[in-house]
Amino acid sequence: MERRERADAARNRQAILRAAEDLLGQYPPEQVSVERVAAAAGVGKGTVFHRFGSRTGLMRELMAERVRELEEAVTEGPPPLGPGAPPVARLVAFFEALAVLAARNGNLVAAYEHAMLTRKAAPEQPREANPIYLFWHRHVSELIAAGRPDVDAEQIAHMLLGVLHMEPIASQLRAGEHDKLAASYAELVRGLMGGR
């Protein structure tokens, strides 16, 4: 019985995440409510709240699902994204993968930001304290420090990652355009690292 309940819960979780992702592909973020997600997933609104706690929690979990694959590629995948390539090649590969991820999930990022801004509960931790951001920042700053020990790698990593939240860039990503951003990141990284 308990096994069946766990299987049902896992199926519901996947159905809810799929429904949220599908709806984000069809509607602006502010129109993707818990009620709408629950109806599309074929579950009750209470099930969504029980599993994710809030609309913000749902969007956070969907974001985590999307970035898990990138994190695995960075830590265990083949070079240049994974270990084994020079720092400059790894940085270029990381920012290219990040631009693709952001473009494919532009509405999700916007929905998460919207959920954070409109939530009724006390404000959460700042973006810079989010585990996803912390992982990305640590990865980027370590690679910069490996190639350029003479610069403030942590500050530069914040600056490079902060570009993703600038409105002109964010609007390009929401439109699915990532090539220009990836090319610009590559130029910045090569200029910073000097081909190291």
The CA dihedral of 27, 32, 38, 39, to the nearest 10 degrees, is -40
In b/e form, how buried is each residue of 48-76, taking b as 16+ CB within 10 angstroms? beebbeebbbbbbbbbeebbeebbeebee
pLDDT digits (tens, 9 = 90+) for 50-85: 999 988 889 888 888 888 889 999 999 999 999 999
pLDDT for residue 114: 66
- For 47, 56, 119, 195, 196, the CA distances from 53, given in Å and listed in that order, are 9, 8, 12, 46, 46
* DSSP codes, 31-89: G--HHHHHHHHTS-HHHHHHHHSSHHHHHHHHHHHHHHHHHHHHHHS-TTTSTTS-HHH
pLDDT band at 102 (very low <50, low <70, confident <90, very high): confident
pLDDT above 90 (res 183): yes
Do the Cβ atoms of 66 and 56 come closer than 8 Å? no
> Residue 80: is the preceding peptide bond cis (ω within 30°)?
yes
Domain boundaries, the chain: 1-53, 54-193
pLDDT above 90 (res 87): yes
CATH topology of domain 1-53: Arc Repressor Mutant, subunit A (1.10.10)
Do the Cβ atoms of 42 and 14 come closer than 8 Å? no
pLDDT digits (tens, 9 = 90+) for 113-130: 666 666 665 555 566 677
Average pLDDT estimate for 135-147? 96
pLDDT for residue 66: 81
pLDDT for residue 149: 96
pLDDT band at 20 (very low <50, low <70, confident <90, very high): very high
- Per-residue tokens: 22: 């599908």
Q: What is the pTM of this model?
A: 0.74
Average pLDDT estimate for 123-150? 85
- Give, rounded to a whole angstrom, the gap between the first and last alpha carbons of the chain: 58
- Rounded Cα distance, 19 and 97, in Å: 25
Residue 44 one-letter amino acid: G
pLDDT band at 105 (very low <50, low <70, confident <90, very high): confident
Q: Name every residue whose Cβ is closer than 8 Å to that of residue 156 and which is 6 or more positions away in sequence.
A: 141, 144, 192
- Rounded Cα distance, 55 and 16, in Å: 11
Do the Cβ atoms of 16 and 38 come closer than 8 Å? yes
